[in-house]
Amino acid sequence: MKKSLVIFIAVFVGVITFLPFLWMISASVMPSGAANTFPPRIFPNKFDFSHYTTLFTRLNLTKYLLNSMIISFGVTLFSLLLNSMAGYAFAKFRFAKKKGLFKFLLSSLIIPAQVTMLPLFLILKNLGLINTYWAIFIPGMASIFGIFLIRQYAFSIPDSLIEAAKMDGATEMQIYLRVILPLCKPILVTLGLFTFMGTWNDFLWPLIVMTDANMYTMPVALANLMSEHVQDTELMMAGSVITIIPVLVVFLALQKYYIKGIMMGSVKG
């Protein structure tokens, strides 16, 4: 009795959550104007894929999709590399002022991102990096949260493992690449997923640093479309579907590891 109630609520919430998503997909394949009829319909009575063709031909979405891909993969790779190195170092290396430095880094978490945006923009501008991928790569390279996450995880790796590798003849780099990274896989996947989704969906920062239309990312390009084609709901929905698909693919592909990562984190703290 109790169980069926739980299931009912879960299904109900699931349906409610899924409904807008479903409508987005079905509206994207409705003929122009069909999405705005009253009463609203959930399923299209006629399939029309012309919006997708329009996006990729007339509106040149391929370029933006490519920009988003490069930026998201780039930021994810750079940040995984640097965060894992830093997190590992903070967890396992002995160096002067380690604790103080880490506390300093942590304390900078309380500064809201918006506060740093203007100075960051000015710095990048002076470096001549505005309207290049580096304007997004560089600020995304290291994240305090990522370092923290990996540090916590790396604590659970026994010192003797690292020492065994040293005795086995591994250099510091080999220890990092062949022992630490493989062992950190679950947390790296989790962090990578967060970073990828965050970067892909980010709107404000790309809007600020990518003033050239050729450098727009998907969300920025989409927002631009929206102001031009306010009435064309079906076209907007098709754009949204395209935006969501890569994130969805990445998430589903890594889901197995991702859940493992979260579970491990909770056990090993």
Positions touching other proteins (CB under 8 A) are 158, 160-161, 163-171, 174, 178-179, 182-183, 185
Q: How far apart (Å, rounded) are the C-alpha atoms in residues 80 and 180?
A: 13
Q: Choose between 101 and 164: whose C-beta lies nearer to other proteins.
A: 164
Burial of 107 (0-12, 13-18, 19+ CB in 10 A): exposed
Q: Least separation, in Å, of the C-beta of 269 and other proteins? A: 18
Residues in CB range of 60: below 8 A, 6 or more apart:
none
Q: Least separation, in Å, of the C-beta of 264 and other proteins? A: 12
- 10 Å Cβ neighbour count for 156? 15
Q: Least separation, in Å, of the C-beta of 185 and other proteins? A: 8
Q: Least separation, in Å, of the C-beta of 79 and other proteins? A: 23
Q: Least separation, in Å, of the C-beta of 6 and other proteins? A: 35
Q: Least separation, in Å, of the C-beta of 160 and other proteins? A: 4
Q: Least separation, in Å, of the C-beta of 151 and other proteins? A: 19
Q: Choose between 85 and 161: whose C-beta lies nearer to other proteins.
A: 161
Question: What single string gives the DSSP state of each residue in 133-147?
Answer: THHHHHHHS--HHHH
**Cis before residue 39, ω within 30 degrees of 0?**
yes
Residue type, 149: L
Q: Choose between 72 and 190: whose C-beta lies nearer to other proteins.
A: 190
Q: Choose between 87 and 139: whose C-beta lies nearer to other proteins.
A: 87
Q: Choose between 112 and 182: whose C-beta lies nearer to other proteins.
A: 182
Q: Choose between 8 and 93: whose C-beta lies nearer to other proteins.
A: 93
83 and 195 Cβ atoms separated by less than 8 Å:
no
Q: Choose between 159 and 228: whose C-beta lies nearer to other proteins.
A: 159
Buried b (16+ CB within 10 A) or exposed e, 3-18: eeeeeeeeeeeeeeee
- 10 Å Cβ neighbour count for 143? 20
31: DSSP letter: P
- 10 Å Cβ neighbour count for 91? 20
